[in-house]
């Protein structure tokens, strides 16, 4: 393929190279954890300077899509537990301790999407979705009641997996089993009262204050592929967002 023909338009050259690399990752040219070709080789493939490639890779690294190791090269980012913890999980203890929560799956079902779910996931009306319900604990304490909704067409047999086979880090499962890499997520927060179900799962009274976190996660092409609603008991924990 002559990559030079794909470099066109008014966008900055490095931005176009960045999008080409994302497209090739999305198409499977490189898998999570793979070492990318050298800057020199990529520059030759795309018909641009090494400096332009370096700027594109720096932009990808800033978005956590690639990982750059001095002396080793640039690797496609994979959803390891550590990456999931520091980039997608923001609930920490009041003492500042950050740890990956454990999960207890409560159920997995296939059903028709609700109108709001269809809108947020860009699905046709009444498209099929799969919902996972689980409780996440920190230091043995149930802290989060979580509902995860994904398009059935993207994860066709997810509901066929035994509950005990669902990993704590679902993004890693998406990547390894369905070749879906979560590249970014948008979250909205608001306060709610605990429903009877959430109260039972979290061991609090009905109506107790919870923090609701609604997250829409997108794949490498920017397509929404997951709607995750977490109801958090923040009596001993809080949401931390680091702005740099």
Where b means 16+ CB within 10 Å and e means fewer, 38-69 reads ebeebbebbebeeebbbbbbebbeeeebbbee
Tokens of 179: 């070749």
What is the pLDDT confidence band of residue 85, given thresholds at 50, 70 and 90? low
> 10-24, 166-180, 222-236: which range is least confident on average?
10-24
Domain ranges for the chain: 3-76, 89-239
Mean pLDDT score across all residues of the chain: 88
The third-level CATH classification (topology) of the domain covering 89-239 is: Chorismate lyase (3.40.1410)
Evaluate if residue 90 carries a pLDDT over 90: no
Does domain 3-76 bear CATH number 1.10.10.10?
Answer: yes
Q: How far is 53 from 36, CA to CA, in rounded Å?
A: 12
| CA neighbor of 35 nearest in space, from 68, 64, 75, 69 | 75
| Residue of higher predicted confidence among 19 and 145 | 145
pLDDT value at residue 6? 55
Site of tokens 């008991």: 233
| CA neighbor of 34 nearest in space, from 2, 7, 65 | 65
Taking CA 118 as the corner, what is the angle to CA 115 and CA 123, rounded to the nearest 5 degrees? 145
CB 145 within 8 A of CB 198: yes
């Amino acid at each position: 393929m002559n990559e030079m023909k794909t470099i066109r338009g008014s966008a900055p050259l490095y931005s176009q190279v960045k999008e080409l690399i994302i497209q090739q990752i999305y198409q499977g040219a490189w898998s999570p954890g793979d070492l990318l070709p050298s800057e020199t080789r990529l520059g030759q493939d795309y018909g641009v300077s090494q400096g332009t490639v370096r700027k594109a890779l720096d932009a990808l690294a800033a978005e956590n899509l690639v990982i750059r190791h001095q002396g080793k090269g640039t690797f496609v980012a994979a959803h390891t537990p550590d990456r999931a913890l520091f980039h997608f999980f923001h609930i920490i203890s009041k003492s500042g301790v950050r740890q990956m929560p454990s999960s207890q799956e409560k159920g997995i079902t296939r059903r028709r999407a609700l109108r709001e779910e269809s809108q947020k996931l860009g699905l046709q009306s009444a498209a099929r979705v799969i919902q996972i319900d689980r409780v996440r604990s920190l230091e043995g304490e149930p802290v989060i009641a979580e509902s995860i909704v994904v398009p059935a067409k993207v994860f066709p047999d997810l509901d066929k997996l035994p509950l005990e086979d669902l990993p704590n880090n679902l993004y890693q499962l998406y990547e390894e089993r369905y070749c879906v890499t979560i590249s970014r997520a948008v979250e909205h927060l608001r306060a709610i009262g605990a429903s009877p179900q959430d109260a039972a799962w979290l061991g609090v009274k009905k109506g107790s204050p919870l923090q609701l976190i609604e997250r829409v996660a997108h794949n490498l092409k920017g397509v929404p592929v997951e709607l995750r609603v977490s109801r958090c008991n923040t009596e001993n924990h809080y949401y931390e967002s680091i702005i740099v």
